Structure 1
Amino acid sequence: MEELRILLQKILNKDLQQIILSNSRNPEQIQKVKIRPVLIRDELLFQETRYKGTQVFHENYTAAQMTDGICAALQEQFRQGEFTAKSLQATALVSKKGKLTLKVKNNGASKAGKSTAPEQEDLQVLSHNRTKHYILEEGKPVDFLVGLGVQTPDGRVTKARFDKFRQINRYLEFIEDVINELPTDRTIRIIDFGCGKSYLTFAMYYYLHELQHRDIQVTGLDLKTDVIKHCNELAEKLGYDRLKFERGDISTYEGTDVADMVVTLHACDLATDYALDKAVKWGARVILPVPCCQHELNRQIKCDSLKPVLKYGIIKERIAALLTDALRANLLEQQGYETQILEFIDMEHTPKNLLIRAVKKGSMRPKHSTDIRTVEEMLHVMPTLDKLLNNK
């Protein structure tokens, strides 16, 4: 581990970009850890983000504490570490016998001899109010962003579309987190239900195909003929030959019988349930829905114990929406998926929506059926997704 300690002493400073520890020996405890530098009250610290099931935990440490923590984590918990700094990139692999192999690649000449901005300006970007580092960077023109009016031809993000630019990058972070779940030995088949104007569909294609060089076939589906026509024209203009758009309804779509990833971002009310049912029956490895307009349970929910709360219409509506998505996540777990419910900025509809991230990990889980049924009986509800998945 001495070689690793030397590396960490070199990169645990303001020039660190990110460290990712993965390939957990015990995923039920901690699945993954991400580390980045932060400036808090003028002190340089390192924020550790730990992912455990559907939970995320944050802790801040000094460089010395983080060095000890990373070395211990690779000895006891993880088999892989990815280290990214301005000056180098490194990968640490731990064998089953505990032997650590470290590969380091320098990123070119050091900037030490060059004239730079003052140290304080370098540290400023690490503060909690710093400019965010995006997957698609400001100032670098991206063809589809220019084509959709998010960027000018020189790469400047237009003021009116900056929120959309942030949303696109946040969405790509979700894609980045699941990319290793997708096949590498064949074409990845992706269906995007309710793609609308397709900002995020184009972003997904660009990230997976142009940046990650994955072999993909993406189909965007929507009901609006004019939108489909425009999107196909733009895809053709950009040379995105593995991206196509079709007019169709989610519940009746029969264009494929298999899919590796299914995305549904603006499918209102029951349309989300039909999309999830399709995704499960296609055997999708990854499902990413952002539901909206969850009205079904609002019409059904009855619970004497909650009468004092449910008598307020707006409270009942919000509780019903949250219950709808929680039950959807549990129904996906019943089908063998690991699920998380995350916040997603959605500029098209409500200011903040929830994204359900579901990754296929195993077979049916009967225990979940009992738990779901208990909640349904207590609230006197029967979600459409339950009926579709379980033939009720």
Structure 2
Amino acid sequence: MEELKILLQKILNKDLQQIILSNSRHPEQTQKVKIRPVLIREELLFQETAYRGTQAFHENFTAEQMTDRICTALQEQFRQGEFSAKTLQATALVSKKGKLTLKVKNSGKAPRTEGAAASEEEELQALAHNRTKHYILEEGKPVDFLVGLGVQTPDGRVTRARFDKFRQINRYLEFIEDVIDELPKDRTIRIIDFGCGKSYLTFAMYYYLHELQHRDIQVTGLDLKTDVIQHCNELAEKLGYDRLKFERGDISTYEGTDVADMVVTLHACDLATDYALDKAVKWGARVILAVPCCQHELNRQIKCDPLKPVLKYGIIKERVAALLTDALRANLLEQQGYETQILEFIDMEHTPKNLLIRAVKKNGMRPKKSADIGTVEELLHVAPTLEKLLNNE
């Protein structure tokens, strides 16, 4: 590993372009890692992006820390490393016996002299740009609903107190951007948003689909609070969002439509999420976005003697039950012909990080039954409400 350390000492600077660690020994843990330089508060760091399942995790390290991490990763996790810098290219291969072979090829580029290529200042700006998040709704550009909801000032600046909300809105729009092609293009897209609350995300969805993507949509936001509904309708009217309306109603009894293309349910508490998912399936929704919270049902039911040493701790049992609830929900949606993902979602009003269930009904995907769910339910002595609703029990 000494040869690798010498290489890393040469390239872990502002001239680094990218490092990729791949061919994982344990792909179920981490499939791949990418590393690039970033400038944060005028300090040169190296951002590590680890790809695990459908998620990417970011961390920043100093050159010394990154050297140790790369050496350890190639000893324990990965069999291949690709190193790209402005002055050289290198490949590291690790054999099954753990022997590392390093091949280095100089690019032939001489170190930059004054006045050649980009200036030092431009280079530092580029590094700083590496860490700048490109939002769908950009900072500095006023958006009418963000101004109306107090997230932006009239000149487009994001207020300090609402920056977390601004990030959350953009993350939410990324989830929608990923599935926009699954929604109808030749007719009005009908969207139901259960438990819309103050409706930051409902307005964001409307703005993105109607104003930015120019899609023909009709959005209905549903909530139980009369004052909230009144305020949201007044703001929608003020903004000229004539295809957005808000109604007072309960998820379980709502009969305002018999068909929907997209159903959204964010923070519908406990069984309310199950009623919303059941409605979405029976309406034939192409896309479902759900951020469940307060998953109490299975916490009351779960019993498993082999897990007693773990479940005897209340907070552990609560979290296990919450994760189990959402995993079973995702599996039950798959049984109805949906392709499902469970993703991490930023939310600052409820918990720092929540899970989002995204389900897409693909053409040609048929409902499929799975004996695995029954095995899990039997083992843990649980009976999810969503399963009963989908089976019309």
TM over 0.5: yes
RMSD, aligned CA: 3.0
Task: Identify which of 115, 124, 128 aligns with 1:125.
Answer: 128
Superposed counterparts of 1:205-224, under 5 Å: 205-224=206-225
Query: Given the superposition, is the C-alpha separation of residues 377 and 60 from structure 1 closer, same or farther in structure 2, using an over 3 Å criterion?
Result: farther
Q: Distance in 2 between matches of 1:302 and 1:47?
A: 38
Write the deviation string for residues 41-93 of structure 1: whole angstroms up to 9, x where unpaired. 9799998979xxx63579987499xxxxxxxxxxxxxxxxxxxxxxxxxxxxx
Residue 288 of structure 2 aligns to a residue whose secondary structure is strand
CA contact (8 A) 1:223 1:247 kept: yes
1:364 matched to 2:367: yes
**Residue matched to 1:297:** 298
Superposed counterparts of 1:1-392, under 5 Å: 38-39=36-37, 55-56=54-55, 62=84, 118-127=121-130, 130-361=131-362, 362-366=365-369, 368=370, 370-392=371-393
Query: Given the superposition, is the C-alpha separation of residues 233 and 352 from structure 1 closer, same or farther in structure 2, using an over 3 Å criterion?
Result: same
Query: Given the superposition, is the C-alpha separation of residues 37 and 208 from structure 1 closer, same or farther in structure 2, using an over 3 Å criterion?
Result: farther
Q: Distance in 2 between matches of 1:49 and 1:308?
A: 32
Gaps of 5+ in 1: 1-13, 15-35, 65-114
TM-superposed deviation, 1:358: 0.5
Taking only the aligned residue pairs, the percentage that are identical comes to: 81
Write the deviation string for residues 340-359 of structure 1: whole angstroms up to 9, x where unpaired. 10111112211111000100
CA contact (8 A) 1:187 1:216 kept: yes
Q: Distance in 2 between matches of 1:386 and 1:304?
A: 24
TM-superposed deviation, 1:244: 0.4
Residue 186 of structure 1 aligns to a residue whose secondary structure is coil
Write the deviation string for residues 207-257 of structure 1: whole angstroms up to 9, x where unpaired. 000001111100000000000000000000000000000000000000001
Write the deviation string for residues 262-309 of structure 1: whole angstroms up to 9, x where unpaired. 000010000000000000000000000000000000000000010000
CA contact (8 A) 1:45 1:63 kept: no
Q: Distance in 2 between matches of 1:136 and 1:116?
A: 31
The number of residues matched between the two structures is: 305
Q: Distance in 2 between matches of 1:280 and 1:60?
A: 46
Read off the aligned partner of 2:187 and give its amino acid letter: R
Residue 205 of structure 2 aligns to a residue whose secondary structure is helix
TM-superposed deviation, 1:125: 2.6
Query: Given the superposition, is the C-alpha separation of residues 61 and 210 from structure 1 closer, same or farther in structure 2, using an over 3 Å criterion?
Result: farther
Read off the aligned partner of 2:54 and give its amino acid letter: Q
Read off the aligned partner of 1:151 and give its amino acid letter: Q
Residue 354 of structure 2 aligns to a residue whose secondary structure is strand
Residue 302 of structure 1 aligns to a residue whose secondary structure is coil
Write the deviation string for residues 306-333 of structure 1: whole angstroms up to 9, x where unpaired. 0000100110000000000000000000
Write the deviation string for residues 98-130 of structure 1: whole angstroms up to 9, x where unpaired. xxxxxxxxxxxxxxxxx9992223322344xx2
Read off the aligned partner of 1:203 and give its amino acid letter: A
Gaps of 5+ in 2: 1-14, 16-33, 58-80, 87-117
Residue 293 of structure 2 aligns to a residue whose secondary structure is coil
Q: Distance in 1 between matches of 2:48 and 2:378?
A: 47
Task: Name the TM-score, length of structure 1 as normaliser.
Answer: 0.72
Q: Distance in 2 between matches of 1:215 and 1:48?
A: 38
Q: Distance in 2 between matches of 1:37 and 1:62?
A: 10
CA contact (8 A) 2:38 2:127 kept: no
Query: Given the superposition, is the C-alpha separation of residues 119 and 188 from structure 1 closer, same or farther in structure 2, using an over 3 Å criterion?
Result: same
Q: Distance in 2 between matches of 1:338 and 1:352?
A: 23
Q: Distance in 2 between matches of 1:221 and 1:37?
A: 44
Residue 294 of structure 2 aligns to a residue whose secondary structure is coil
Residue 168 of structure 2 aligns to a residue whose secondary structure is helix
Query: Given the superposition, is the C-alpha separation of residues 43 and 248 from structure 1 closer, same or farther in structure 2, using an over 3 Å criterion?
Result: closer
TM-superposed deviation, 1:363: 1.8
Task: Name the TM-score, length of structure 2 as normaliser.
Answer: 0.72
Query: Given the superposition, is the C-alpha separation of residues 63 and 274 from structure 1 closer, same or farther in structure 2, using an over 3 Å criterion?
Result: farther
